[in-house]
Amino acid sequence: MRVGLIAADPRHPVLAAVAGLLEGQGCEVVHVAPAGGAGDAGVAGELVDVCLLKARTGPALALAREWERRGVPVVNSAAATELCQDRVRMADLARSAGLPFVPTADGGRMAELTWQGRPFVVKSRHSRRHDLVALVDGEARLRELAARWPEEPVVTQPFVPGTGWDQKLWVVDGQVFAARRRSELAAPDGGPEGGEGWVPSAGRTALALRVGEVFGLDVYGVDLLDGPDEPVVVDVNAFPGIRGQAGAPQALAALALRVGAGVGGAGAGFGAGVVG
């Protein structure tokens, strides 16, 4: 089996582990970096049996669409990956499907925002590495962010007070991994950095799986916070890094083998379950 990997850096720990597992099963793993990176650009016109789409740049999505047009199954699809980059479209779809997604409004450019007298969260409208995610707790903070990111298209979300920990759930072909991580919005003295193991409730696990159904994703992350009455979804990420989660590389390798072979079912060959 020939497995295509569209990624900026195949040395990412999880991707490298997946490639090793697949090669151990006799697969050929072909790395492509469409914007001219370290990959072999010459394979862009060649077919593979299945493609794992980790990169989310324009050239990466264009290559994924071309392979899809030629009949190659892509995980996640180019359409689903692109949708998760636009936080307005993401929120609209989630809420229309009945998911408890935090209210999200198009804020225009960062420089156009005004202080409304209560804390709120501002994020880059287009999700990407090193994008803007910040708590605006006063006029001074708003001016600071506007000076640094004046032309950035943003969304705004109401601030959901929490414990300073985000609930992270990652799903690979129906297998759920989870951890708690220090929130990007937590105060510097809010506690220890890093993360800790965490086993989500059955309800949170079911919510994470429902997100995949709604968004058409096989590999994704869901960020949750505790709302007043129920957990709320604050972000969905297509093909996140899933670092430090034992079993994640095995789940990804099994997914690639299953999809490439056209076999139904989840987690074939490497096990399944919920991992904390």
Confidence band of 147 (pLDDT split at 50, 70, 90): very high
Q: What is the largest CA-CA distance in the chain?
A: 60
pLDDT value of residue 181: 83
What residues pair up with 123 in beta bridges, in sequence order?
Answer: 133, 155
Distance of CA 4 to the CA centre of its chain: 19
pLDDT value of residue 94: 98
* Percentage, residues of the chain above pLDDT 90: 72
Sequence-separated contacts (24+) of 181-188 with Cβ below 8 Å = 184/133, 184/134, 185/121, 185/133, 185/134, 185/135, 185/159
Are 106 and 119 a contacting pair, CB within 8 Å?
no
User: What's 10's DSSP letter?
Assistant: T
Mean pLDDT value of segment 39-59: 76
What's the CATH superfamily of 165-244+270-275?
ATP-grasp fold, B domain (3.30.470.20)
pLDDT value of residue 16: 96
pLDDT single digits (tens) 195-207: 567 889 999 999 9
Domain locations in the chain as residue ranges: 103-158, 165-244+270-275
pTM, to two decimals: 0.87
The region of weakest confidence among 38-42, 118-122, 157-161, 204-208 is: 38-42
**Residue 153 phi, psi dihedral angles, 5° rounding:** -65, 130
Mean pLDDT value of segment 155-182: 90
Confidence band of 243 (pLDDT split at 50, 70, 90): confident
User: What's 110's DSSP letter?
Assistant: G
Distance of CA 124 to the CA centre of its chain: 15
Confidence band of 186 (pLDDT split at 50, 70, 90): low
pLDDT value of residue 60: 92
Mean of per-residue pLDDT scores for the chain: 87
Q: How far apart are CA 18 and CA 253, in angstroms?
A: 5
Burial of 10 (0-12, 13-18, 19+ CB in 10 A): buried
User: Considering only CA atoms, which of 256, 274, 270 is closest in space to residue 72?
Assistant: 256
pLDDT value of residue 221: 97
- Tokens matching residue 212: 């995949």
pLDDT single digits (tens) 213-240: 999 999 999 999 887 778 899 999 999 9
Parallel/antiparallel/unpaired status of strands 120-124 and 153-158: antiparallel
